Every structure is written in C-alpha cells, then in structure tokens.
Structure 1
C-alpha cells in the first residue's frame, strides 16, 4: 500500500512538473496571411525598410518567418486597395484573411492594428510655407499631437515609445524635404535654424527604429551633398558621410548600422575599388561585434574584385559553337556586358555598346557580350537579326564567372585590363555620360 502511494505521488509530481513546464514554455509567435478567393495580388509585405516576398502555398497561405526578425515589429501589407498594418510581438498569433474586398484581422494585437490603421501621420501639405521658423514650429506641433494620440490609445510602453520615435522622425523627414525645396539650400549655414534642427534630430539619444534610419540616411546625405558640385567624387562622399555619422548619430546602435548601410550600398552598386580605407574607418569606430562582422563580411565577399586582382578565366561559346576564353583577349582591354534577350534594360544598352564598338574599333579594346539566355536559339536569333558586332558569346549554362563576379542581376558591365586583371567590377553602363570619356582616357595610356 505504501509503495502504491509513493508511486501515485511520484506520478502526480511528474504530471505537475510537465504542466508547469508547459505553462512556462514561451508561446510561439506566428503571423499568417490567408488568400480568400481569386484576384488577390500581394507580392510582398514590408517590415521596417525591408520588403519580404510573399509566396502562398497550395492552400493559399503565407506564413511569415518571424524567427529571422527582431521583435516586436510592424508588418505593412496592401489589400483591397488599401494599406494595412499589424503589430507582431513575442507570443502573438495573428491571421489576416484578405480578399479583393477586405482584409480581416483575427487573433492577438487587434487593438494595435486598429490604432496603426487609423492613426493620422503628418501631412506634407502642412509645410506649405516660405517661413523657416513656421515650418519648424508646424512640424514640432504636429509631432506632439501625434505623440499625444498614441499615449491616449493606452497601448504597451514599448509600442508607445516606438511610435513616438516614428512620429518624431516622420516630422523630421517632412522638414528635411521642405529644406530640399529651398532655392538657396546650398548657401545654408550651420547656424541656420533648418540645419540646426536637422542636426539636432540626428544627434538625439535613445532607441532607434526604421523611421529614424530613413531620416538619418536622407539627412546625412543631404548635409554632405548639398554644397558639392559634379567634381565631387563618390569615395570622398563615402569618407565624409562616414565621418559625419561618427560625429553626429547618437541613437542606440544607429551609428554602426548607418555606417554598414552606406558601405554595403556603395559596394553593391559602385563596387569595391578604393573602399578599403573607408571600411577601416568604419571598423575602427564601431562597437557592435555583429555589425563589425557584417561589415567585414561584405568587404570580404568583394575583396577579390579589387582593381589589380586576377579575373577568373571564363570560357564561353561563340555563335558557331567554338570556345573562347578571357585569356584569348590578352593584350587588350576587355569591356564585358552580361546580358540576356529577355532583359529589357540589357537590350536598351545594346545601341550604346554598338556605338562603342564602332568608335573604338581597331584600338586596344574588345567589347564582349556574354548572354545567359536559357534558350540559346533566342540569343542566336537576336545576334543574327540585329547583326550585333563585337564578340558575342553565350555562357553555355556555366555560371562560374557570374558567381566569381557576385552577379545578382543584369545588365552588368565589367572592365578588365590587358593582362586579365580587374579594373572595374561595377563599370558604369554604356549609356552613362561618364563611360565614353572614361574609355577614351583609358585608351590614351
């Protein structure tokens, strides 16, 4: 009998522990969108400044991968001809049913969604004034009204603080856009009220969010570019904007994030040439190890494409089925165009490349177009029908060169030296006004 009681007590204790464990386990977070009926078009949702592609499964459902997102966050989505918002916090479960006529929110945080969808943001029309002081006062007044509104809504502190930051920097953005319309913006001095206001907004302390990042990126660029002319070099801009970020931005973690933003954007669109000292400048003024790791990873991904580095010796197919490699052009500069017949922007550049081919024919440069068309016949037809000059090649399905060049989209233009060394991994497109003078200068050497 005694043993039986002991066994029963043990079972009861174990059951209680299981129940307590279940009660203490964190509630999973989920955000789901369900497509009701045909004709629903939702290509993406937006979280912060990032667009996340929406792919509905066979059941018409899309589950947002919240594990990769820092909570809490606001999801913005389009449905039934309107823009809607939802607030995702830890442990919340939300389902959005969207049709051509409506979006229905069920689950947690409905009161947050209701507030977000009905809040009145600062109207740009508010700043239709020529008075600097009046513009600033109107912004400040509108911000305070919005902050009062979110406090009245009596939502949680974290959400309320985030909204206060959002309203503050929407207001700052509105004023910045007003300043950009001034005919004398280049003559503004640091002592002028508008620039003081912008700098004050940049240097405020406290937490940051996506709206602050939007304002900071626009404001920092404006402050650096506003009095420069066409001779101002992008690398000088990068150094100046990184230094301004270091000396101005004060919000928690924002300095590192903004420096990473500028470095990553420049490398993505303009290439890695000349960026090593800029990366070192940013690295030496960062404190967040994750942001430092991100910065160094971005540079490391592109470092092999710095000017002077050897280029991967690709081999492609000619229209006659022969093989041709980069090494076949040794002794000449090589201007490469990565393209495809289905790519509108690629096709738009063809006339400019053909003009270059004609103008620089017989000089120490060869223009090589490499198609990535899956249907080789389409490429051949385009080349023959349009009588395209220069060296016309097809990658034959081999993507190693594209991988080497970190190609994520086409058209892409690359300039290679006479000995197969990299000159510019992100060369300007042929239609750009600076490309022809650059080639003329190159061929003088």
Structure 2
C-alpha cells in the first residue's frame, strides 16, 4: 500500500513537471465587421503565418512557440502591430469608425495593446525657427515624459522593456521633420542606429533607421547626387550591420528608392554589395525583378510604339517625333504637383523653341473633355496628348510610373535618354538640354 502511494505521488509530481515543460500555446483571434479578404497573415519572429478568415470565428492564429514581443497583423486593408506574450490569448475586434480607436482588445494582454494603440503617433511641437540643440532637447524631453507614463502603469515588465525602446524611436522620428540640421547631427544618429531586431516590425524603428541612414550617408557621400548617396548608404550598411533581417530592410529601402528615381543607371556597384550581403531568396527575387524592369528603360534602349490622342482626337504616334529630342511630361489635370510644374514648363518651351527639342505632355486623365478644356483655358503649349482609354496605362506600366509628375527624355532616334529626367523646376534639366544640343 505504501509503495502504491509513493507511485501515485511520483506520477502526480512528474505529470506536473512535464506539463510545466510544455510550451505555452498562444491564440490570437481577429474579428471584423468587414470581410475584405479571405485570409489573414501574422508576421512574427522572422516568419509569416497565414490562416483563412471565417465570418463567424474570424481569423484564428494558434502559436505554439512565442517570444514576448511585437507581431504584425495584416488582412486586406487592415495593418496592425500588436504585442503578444506566451500563454496570453488575445482577441482583436476591428470596430466601425468612431471613438478613440477602431480596435477593441480583450483577453490577456489587452491592457498592453490598449497602451500600444493609444501611443501610435508622436506629436512633438517645435518651430523651424528653433536652434538644433533646442529642437533635439525638446524631442528628448517629450520621449522622457512618455516613458514616465509607461513606467507609471502596472503593465507587464516584458512589455515595458520593449515598449520603452519603441517610444524612443517613435520620438526620434520627429527629428526628420526639422529642416535645419547640420552635419553635427551625424554622430548622434549613429549612436541611435542600433540593431534592434525586436523592433523590426514597428513602423517607428523602420522609419528612423531608413531616414537616419540617408541623412548620415548624404553627409558622408563623395558627391551630392543620387548614385553617390546610395553608394554611401550601401557601404555604411555593409560596414556597420550584421543582422540579416536589418541588412535586408535597409538594402531593400536603398535600392527601391534608387530605382524609383534613377532606374538601373549606374546600379551595378550597388547590386554587387546587395548580392554579397543579402541571403533572403524572396528579397533577391524582388530586387532582381525590379532591376530587370528598370533595365528595359536604360539609356539607349529602344522602346515600343505608343499612340495617343491629341485635342482633336487624332491619333499621334510617339515615333512621329523622331529627329528631335523629346521631353515628355506625364501628368493629369487633377494632380497638384503636376500643375505646379506648368509655369516652369512654359518657360522651358519658350527658351528652347526651335532648337531641336519637342515638348510633349501626355495626360492620364479619364475625362477627355475636362482635359481638353484645361488645355484651352490655360493655353498649354507644346504637343498636348492624352492616353487612349481604357488602355491608358500602357506607357505608365512600361516606364514604371508610380507617381506623377514624371518626366522622360528621348533622344533623336526615339530611344531612352533619361527615363526619370529632372523636372522643369530643376535647373539640372537646362544643363542637360545645353549638353545634348551641342552634339
């Protein structure tokens, strides 16, 4: 009888020990009044979970192993950073607009996520007339006050530890809204550019790191142009960062931004560093695809035939302007920045009239009558064309135009001279004109 009792006690103790050794499962449930997607994703600990969305149960993520920290939830148009802890089941209810937040949190960890949700934005007021030291002190004081609010709560220690760091970067992002910084800021930014993998999913850390990298590289670049600044950024990443996820983030940012403005021009030295340092197959494929797309509009490349309509609905082929350099303005009547370039464009047209440069404006308006009315009322010069609906996106797709205004310069043979030429308001375009007209 005594041996049986001992065995029962041993069994109970071992059961408790073994159950305590099992990883604590965590369940995250998302429910929404709108169902604009059939699946939801959760990015966490360097990998992504995908689950179906059920109109009754919602999106349910069951996480077996979890390190306390931030996760990024995505479903349709909903994007949300949340804080998760092992064993703390959390439910997020996406509510109808109204009130202080669109999100209602219930379950363990709700209070931590309420704090996170309430401190998603940092509003630190300062004047552009203030000096650098005063602005920096204002920002640091504001960060300290917010951290004091955090410390005064009864939230979990794990949350306070990581949230304190996020609040730092959230406040530091305000640095880049001040326009008077000198090179003296560089050492300060370098001290703050730390490899914080726990913060990688937060917008605050990512924005600070990419902006700080650009600021530092711009001040340390050999020349003040897009290529040398991008090269300075890539060299800084290569020298100072080891974590592959942070390296991926920064290099993707540099190359994506560079190709947006310069396409594949001079990109080979940048790609050499990228190919040597980046191991993510997904990112390699993305950048390779972007590179191949931009390569088709490199200087000297022949482009397909594009046909547009003039103000009288007559078809005009782009190839009909061969024999002259063609400066193309891709714009729309509803685009404010496009309209702001019109006075500068008129000045260029007047200055270079009859000198071998054809000025062609191509509108992406859907309303042809409204476009024609604007052309007449504002007495727009040059050749005014509009993309043919409903296939008006052909030239935009070919030249990877993701925002307007966009200016393109073709040579006398109709080949690409500059797929992202300077705007009329930029003096650099006149320097280019003077150079090509001497040939």
Task: Please give the TM-score of this superposition, normalised by the length of structure 2.
Answer: 0.70
SS of match in other structure, 1:336: strand
Q: Which runs of 5+ in 1 are unaligned?
A: 1-23, 35-46, 49-62, 76-84, 189-193
Asked if 1:213 corresponds to 2:206, the answer is yes
* 2:330 equivalent in structure 1: 338
Q: In 1, distance between residues paired with 2:365 and 2:281?
A: 42
1:382 aligns with 2:370: no
Deviation at 1:242, TM superposition (A): 0.6
Deviations 1:329-384 (A, max 9, x none): 11211111122222232222222222222211111210111122222222222223
Change (3 A) 1:95 1:118: closer
Kept in 1: contact 2:344–2:425 (CA 8 A): yes
In structure 1, how many angstroms separate the alpha carbons of the residues matched to 2:387 and 2:120? 53
Structure 1 residue aligned with 2:155: 153
Specify the SS of the correspondent of 2:372: helix
Bigger Cα displacement from structure 2, 379-388 vs 361-370: 379-388
- In structure 2, relative to structure 1, the CA distance for the partners of 1:438 and 1:195 (3 Å cut) is closer
TM superposition shift of 1:309: 1.1
1:89 shift after superposition: 5.0
Indicate the residue corresponding to 1:424 in structure 2.
418
Offset at residue 92 of structure 1 (A)? 3.9
Would you say the 8 A contact 2:220–2:232 is kept in 1? no
1:199–1:28 Cα change, 3 Å: closer
The CA deviation at 1:395 is: 1.7
Q: Which residue of 2 aligns with 1:166?
A: 166
Deviation readout 1:47-102 (Å, 9 max, x if unpaired): 99xxxxxxxxxxxxxx9999xxx971389xxxxxxxxx872659743114355455
| Conserved 8 A contact 2:328-2:407 | yes
In 1, Cα distance between equivalents of 2:311 and 2:178: 55
What value does the CA root-mean-square deviation take over the aligned residues? 4.3
Q: How many corresponding residue pairs?
A: 370
Instruction: Tell whether the 8 Å contact from 2:248 to 2:283 is kept in structure 1 after alignment.
Output: yes
Contact 1:370–1:395 (CA under 8 A) maintained in structure 2: yes
Residue 391 (1) aligns with residue 383 (2): yes
Q: Which residue of 1 aligns with 2:113?
A: 113
What is the CA distance between 1:394 and its match in structure 2?
Answer: 2.0
**Equivalent in the alignment of 1:361:** 353
Please give the residue correspondences for 1:86-125 in structure 2 after superposition, counting only pairs within 5 Å. 87=82, 89=84, 92-98=90-96, 100-103=98-101, 105-108=104-107, 109-116=109-116
* Residues 65 and 365 of structure 1, relative CA distance in 2, 3 Å threshold: farther
Q: Is 2:278 aligned against 1:286?
A: yes
User: Which residues of 2 match residues 31-110 of structure 1 at below 5 A?
Assistant: 31-32=31-32, 72-73=71-72, 87=82, 89=84, 92-98=90-96, 100-103=98-101, 105-108=104-107, 109-110=109-110
Contact kept? 1:333, 1:364, Cα under 8 Å: yes
Q: Following the alignment from structure 2 to structure 1, what is the Cα–Cα distance between the partners of residues 378 and 307?
A: 24
**C-alpha displacement of 1:206:** 4.8
- Once the two structures are TM-superposed, the CA of residue 208 in structure 1 deviates from its matched residue by 4.0
Please tell me whether residue 201 in structure 1 is matched to residue 192 in structure 2.
yes
Say if 2:215 is the partner of 1:222.
yes
Using the TM superposition, give the Cα deviation of residue 295 of structure 1 relative to its aligned residue in structure 2, in angstroms. Answer: 2.1
What is the CA distance between 1:414 and its match in structure 2? 0.7
How far off its partner does 1:118 sit?
Answer: 6.0
Q: Gaps spanning 5+ residues in structure 2: where? A: 1-23, 35-42, 45-57, 62-68, 75-79
Deviates more, 1:403-412 or 1:89-98: 89-98
Deviation at 1:199, TM superposition (A): 2.9
Structure 2 distance, partners of 1:404, 1:392, is 20
* 1:283 to 1:33, Cα distance in 2 relative to 1, 3 A: farther
